[in-house]
Amino acid sequence: MSARLASAGLLSALLLSACGGGKPVSIAKVEDVPELASAALTTMPEQVPAYGIALDGGTAPGFEVTIEAGDSALVHPGQRAFAYVLPSTAPVACRVTRILRGVSAETGQSIAWLAPVARGLVAPNDFVSARITVAVRRGVLTVPAAAVMVRDGKTMVVRQAKGPDGKVYYQAVPVKTGMAAGGRLEIVSGLKPGERVAVSGAVGLLNPDFKALAD
């Protein structure tokens, strides 16, 4: 059987497991030890997005960014932010220095100015995206973002569990997610603190013959 057909079969098994009346369904026992991580209570920043351009400021450039009307009231001078000069994914630490609210009568959008914390060269007029931290939430249940999969509109993780005989099994578990930050994703429902989930190779875990089929 080809690798493509094997993958299709695994995906079908995963989706069937996630539709079992809302209850996790054990799919298969495997002998390999996967990369796992725990669902943990963490501190997570609440951030709002912004988009704009880099200004001509020499070795200490600033960024002028647009904020949606619904987020405008949450943004204030002094708040921390991270700007990303596209297409780079390297964050530039900043502070909000000023905000002008309601600059557009039609959309209610606002404009904010961000100043980098450290000096560095940024070309003026480069497009930037930014994330402005407006609050910090504590005790948020999160997992690594890599542990969460979306298949045909269903969001799920593969959770490690033990059967009555003490042997390890893996389950496809539907979850509801929330905010994302720092490579982790909030889990609103579907998991409890301390439960272990597969971070990589989750689809393959659901079929003990995956390697043989793929070959």
Per the structure block, which two tokens stand in for 66? 């647009």
Which pLDDT value is given to residue 25?
A: 47
Which residue has better confidence, 26 or 102?
102
- Domain residue spans of the chain: 3-42+138-214, 45-136
Which pLDDT value is given to residue 202?
A: 65
Whether the per-residue pLDDT at 4 is higher than 80: the answer is: no
* For range 9-22, the mean pLDDT: 44
Which pLDDT value is given to residue 34?
A: 75
| Average pLDDT of every residue of the chain | 80
DSSP letter for each residue of 86-147: TT---EEEEEEEEEE----TTT--EEEEEEESS-----TT-EEEEEEEEEEEEEEEEEEGGG
Which pLDDT value is given to residue 13?
A: 45
Classify residue 20 by its DSSP letter: S
Minimal CA–CA distance to 108: which of 63, 68, 58? 68
Which residue has better confidence, 189 or 25?
189
| 158-207 per-position pLDDT tens digit | 998 888 888 888 888 999 999 888 889 999 999 999 999 999 766 666 65
Which pLDDT value is given to residue 11?
A: 41
Q: Given 3.30.1300.10, 1.10.940.10, 1.20.1090.10, 2.40.30.170, which CATH number is that of 45-136?
A: 2.40.30.170
Domains 3-42+138-214 and 45-136 share a fold: no
pTM, two decimal places: 0.64
Which numeric CATH code is attached to 3-42+138-214? 2.40.420.20
Task: Place 119 in a pLDDT band, splitting at 50, 70 and 90.
Answer: confident
